[in-house]
Chain A
Amino acid sequence: MFPHFCKNIGSSRPAFRIPLRSLSTASAHGKGKSNKLLVTGAAALGLTSAGLLYIGSLTGEAMTASEHGLHPPSFPWSHKGPFETFDHASIRRGYQVYREVCAACHSLDRVAWRTMVGVSHTNAEVKDMAEQFEYDDEPDEQGNPKKRPGKLADYIPGPYPNEEAARAANQGALPPDLSLIVKARHGGPDYIFSLLTGYPEDPPAGVTLPSGGNYNPYFPGGSIAMARVLFDDLVEYEDGTPATTSQMAKDVTTFLNWCAEPELDERKRLGLKTMIVLTSLYLLSVWVKKFKWAGIKTRKFVFNPPKTKK
């Protein structure tokens, strides 16, 4: 069959026939049956696995909105925008919320007391806050371990001595360290705020939660070990701000955003300086280019053909 076929399309190239014929004689010599069996087996395997995958996809949670969590809306943060600093009053209130609510389970390992001085609290206030915690001191002459009150150079202590203790106290779930949580989650502060305020009264119909799980549509998978913690008037702000759930969530998110990006204010100030200088230099370079090229761009070529002598 092949030689005929070849003859039809390219009879001017008889050399083409030779390799084709040699190929067919090599393979179709008693092996045709096993080949057929192999192809049938592969097809059956492929169909079965495709069918199984399809059946699995009908009930599976993979690559669905509930697996990835609801996308948080974009909120008008006081520090959103290229020239906006943090609202430091909000950071101050946010620390109060962290201390009175979040700190029961979440640590803040990477934030030292001293970094809050001149940001949200005065020197004396932070010293007082640090002194309420005990830290390991150097041992005395007999080698007995000693404790000392905290000082500005210490880091904020967490609620649990180690990860195992944290898991044991929370039914196996580890409350994440909040120092960098805003940077560590997609959506940043929008996600944290949505998560804190996004607990519905009851999970929607059809959702079954594992024991110890709480439903939150913004949490990837929908089942979060942390229950709703912020309720109206849970804390009492010293500056008289009404402590609604969303106010507390906004303040604590601003505070956590500051924990993750303490350099934000200075970064934006330097960014402004940089943008002004670079924009000026760019415009200057455009002007210089135009100036230097003006003579070249506006020149005129005139071709005067030599006079032909006859």
Chain B
Amino acid sequence: MSFSTVYKVFFKRNSVFVGTIFLSAFVFQSVFDSGVTKWFEHHNKGKLWKDVKLQIPGAEEGEEED
């Protein structure tokens, strides 16, 4: 896809241009959040509650009161 095609498809019409910006912002903010969270949880592995929970003797999935 040459630059002229990119220009014609995404840049030429202002409504499409603005729409592209918003769409990429929408996609970016969720992908970015997922990515950062994934790294953050990998970096802190073993300290987080979801890792600690597994080592508690009597507190496995079975306890569903109420």
Whether B43 contacts A83 by the Cβ 8 Å rule is yes
* Distance of A217 Cα from B47 Cα, bound (Å): 33
With contacts A88-B52, A92-B52 taken as known, whether A127 is within 8 angstroms of B65 at the C-beta atoms is: yes
Known: A269-B36, A273-B33. A123 touches B49 (CB 8 A): no
Min CB–CB distance B23 → chain A (angstroms) = 18
- Contact in complex: A239, B55 (CB < 8 Å): yes
Whether A276 and B47, one on each chain, are in contact in the complex, defined by CB atoms closer than 8 angstroms, is: no
Tell whether A269 pairs with B37 under 8 Å between CB atoms, given A85-B47, A89-B47, A123-B65.
yes
Instruction: Decide if B47 touches A125 in the complex (CB within 8 Å).
Output: no
Cβ of A26 < 8 Å from any Cβ of B? no
Contacts of B51 in A (CB 8 A): 88
Q: Which of A9-64 contact B (CB under 8 A)?
A: none
| Interface presence of B56 (CB below 8 A) | yes
Chain A min CB distance to B28 (Å): 10
Q: Does B53 contact A (CB under 8 A)?
A: yes
Q: How large is the interface on A (under 10, 10 to 19, 20 to 34, 35 or more residues)?
A: 20 to 34
Q: How far is the CA of A119 from the CA of B55 in the complex (A)?
A: 14
Complex CA–CA separation, A87 to B55 (angstroms): 13
Asked whether, in the complex, the Cβ of A124 is within 8 Å of the Cβ of B59, the reply is yes
Which of the listed residues A89, A120, A238 has the most CB atoms from chain B within 10 Å of its own CB?
A: A89
Q: Who on chain B is nearest to A90 by CB?
A: B47
B57–A87 CB distance below 8 A: no
Instruction: Indicate if the CB atoms of B65 and A124 lie closer than 8 Å.
Output: yes
Q: Please, how many angstroms separate the alpha-carbon atoms of A120 and B52 in the complex?
A: 8
Contact B59 A125 (CB under 8 A): yes
B48 at the interface (CB under 8 A from A): yes
Quote the shortest CB–CB distance from B65 to chain A (angstroms): 6
Partner of B47, one of A78, A123, A273: A78
> Quick one: which of A88, A122, A268, A272 contacts B59, CB cutoff 8 A?
A122
Q: Taking the complex as formed, is A295 at the interface, i.e. its CB lies under 8 A from any CB of chain B?
A: no
Residue of B nearest to A86 (CB): B47
Closest 5 CB pairs of A and B: A124-B63, A87-B47, A88-B49, A85-B44, A89-B52
What would be 27 A-B contacts, judged by CB atoms less than 8 Å apart? A78-B47, A84-B47, A85-B40, A85-B48, A86-B47, A87-B47, A88-B47, A88-B52, A89-B55, A92-B52, A92-B56, A118-B49, A119-B49, A120-B52, A121-B59, A122-B56, A122-B63, A123-B63, A124-B63, A127-B65, A238-B56, A238-B57, A265-B48, A268-B40, A269-B37, A276-B32, A276-B36
Residues of chain B having any CB pair with chain A under 8 Å: 32-33, 36-37, 40, 43-44, 47-49, 51-53, 55-57, 59, 63, 65
What 9 additional pairs, Cβ within 8 angstroms, besides A83-B44, A88-B49, A239-B56? A78-B47, A83-B40, A88-B47, A89-B47, A92-B56, A123-B63, A125-B59, A272-B40, A276-B32
